[in-house]
Homo-oligomer: A and B are copies of this chain.
């Protein structure tokens, strides 16, 4: 049987019209290419060139052979690409979420449980998450509601409640409870990647002037260094409370609370059993 490199060489000859030029293109000496083509002809048991004393031309056989060779090489490259992509996908865990918190909670767990795997995470709209879960784009998705779907497991993962984080001197800092509307119109610090919470803010606080920060660390520094109101959630309060001198006041609107459900296919539930055990052990 012939080999792929011979087909590549044949194509090079067909494109360059001359052995010397093709040899140069292939980083090969011209005699080596000459011999290789002779060997290809012998293996195919078919002449490919009409040989004049110092010129060769591709004959009809060769033209047909080149067409086949192109197809075969294309398929071979296709095989490599798909294999690599498939292998990569097999060694990455893709997580999608409608909000950052559950993802932040889960990413360190995943990377410590599966150190060999790449973890990729995205914040997306709910429909995109559902779609991605079904078509395999995501192994795990966090949704703000429960779903029932064939072959899909879905379980309540955590609740998140928004708080206003106010400086002690703020006019409302003495209140026990607030509504989103209460700070509408003020200037607030806001971290950009808050996912589906954005909808509630746009609805209930349309006049608020948000200073949006895309870097979480700079957002965090600005909160500490300024007297601007911001949001914080029950899940972040624990580590913050001691260090910051801010007052966290719960927000009473239904839009300011969410229950996140973790969904995945039964298949991935089986392969990542340890992870799910950890998630729902407490």
Contact = CB atoms under 8 A, between A and B. Distances in A.
A1 interface: yes
A75 B64 contact: no
Contacts of A44: 80, 83-84
Contact of A68 (B3, B45, B69, B75): B75
A148 to B, nearest CB: 29
A86 B69 contact: no
Interface in A3-49: 3-5, 8, 44-47
A60 interface: yes
Given A1-B4, A3-B4, A4-B4, A61 B86 contact: yes
- Give the oligomeric copy count: 2
Contact of A79 (B5, B69, B82, B87): B69
A237 B30 CA distance: 62
A1 B68 contact: no
A238 interface: no
Interface string A80-95: 1011101100100000
B64 A82 contact: yes
Contacts of A46: 83-84, 87
Interface in A111-125: none
B64 A86 contact: yes
A65 interface: yes
B2 A76 contact: yes
Interface of A: 1-5, 8, 44-47, 60-61, 64-65, 68-69, 71-72, 75-76, 78-80, 82-84, 86-87, 90
Given A68-B75, A82-B64, A47 B1 contact: no
A84 B3 contact: no
10 closest Cβ contacts across the A-B interface? Answer: A68-B79, A46-B87, A3-B3, A46-B83, A61-B87, A72-B75, A3-B4, A1-B4, A65-B83, A44-B83
Nearest to A73: B1
A169 to B, nearest CB: 60
B83 A64 contact: yes
A46 B88 CA distance: 9
A82 B64 CA distance: 9
Contacts of A87: 46-47, 61
Given A64-B83, A68-B82, A75-B75, 5 more contacts: A1-B8, A3-B3, A68-B75, A68-B78, A71-B75
